Amino acid sequence: MASRSTGGSTIVGKEHARSVARELQLERSASRPVLFHGPTMLPLLRDGDGLEIVPVRAEEIQLGDIVVYREQDKYPTRRVVGFNPARTEFFIQADYTPARLFCIPATALLGRVEARLRDGKRLHRTSVRWRWAAWSASYRKNFLKIFRRYTRGR
Amino acid sequence: MNLQYSIDQNNSAWRIVDGEAVLINAETTFYYGLNSTATRIWMLLLEEDLTGAEISGRIAPDFNKTSAEISQSVDALLQELAQEKLLTGKELSNPPVLAEDILNGRPSGPISASAWDTPRITRYDTLESLVVCGE
């Protein structure tokens, strides 16, 4: 649909306005959840899940939180596994592929995933199930090592 | 008809970028751009609910204009924002009585006055469903 204006153009161009509007859309996700796509946050998040995302300051983010950040015109969603003392950089990884570690600047952070909506049910990040997923995602690698060592020894 | 306008907080979200507001209507998913003058009006409405006459009276002096000179374009913008469901208008049974100087504007002189740019809204496309991903 073509844009409509009562006069000339604004300083903020259409494309810039669109990217800002997308971020506003993210901020409004509590009333209109955004969709999650992809397998990389399995098993907690899967294709088609609705997410509620709340803007947060870098100081409020804790280890294990799932955050959404800006990467060009995409909005990757991954788990925080570390940060520097000044919290200017965050280390994140996907639950399903924990071998890859990403480092993102705090300025790219857009918000924290507060809840997942699936089949009409809402799972909040403070729930036991969510916390278990966060915990197991962080320690899965070590679990696997211990498990393999244990099974090899038997 | 004397309407007092207020921002529809449930329906709209906004951010100021380079002195101009970018708005979305959460219901229709249209997104918009306001020029600097229209952004000024939006900011006034963020502070309190106002009528078109009150807005004209408040901003006219900053542009070295009288309220009468700008009221038509201010009203046009307010109507358009209301049409887009970004503002809601409430009819006032007792319209506020404006002081003579507010009605006529209080030109503050050309030194501090900004150039008047007709307030306008640009409606862009609708936003498709937002998808975040783990990829």
Put the strands of the sheet holding B12-17 in their side by side order: A4-5, B121-126, B30-34, B20-25, B12-17
A50: buried, middle or exposed (CB in 10 Å: 19+, 13-18, 0-12)?
Answer: middle
Task: Tell me what the pLDDT averaged over chain B comes to.
Answer: 84
pTM value surpassing 0.90: no
Judged by CB atoms closer than 8 Å, whether chains meet at B125 and A17 is answered as no
**Partners of residue A40 in chain B, C-beta under 8 Å:** 133-135
ipTM of the shown complex? 0.77
Q: Which region, left, alpha or beta, applies to residue A114 given φ > 0 means left and ψ of -120 to 50 means alpha?
A: alpha
A-chain residues within 8 Å CB-CB of B19? 11
pLDDT digits (tens, 9 = 90+) for A13-22: 888 888 888 8
Total H helices, total E strands in chain B: 4, 8
- Residue B123, class by beta-carbon neighbours within 10 Å (0-12 exposed, 13-18 middle, 19+ buried)? buried
User: Residues B83-108: pLDDT tens digits?
Assistant: 999 999 888 877 666 655 555 545 44
Q: Which of B37, B80, B84, B132 to mutate to test the interface with A (most CBs of A within 10 A)?
A: B132
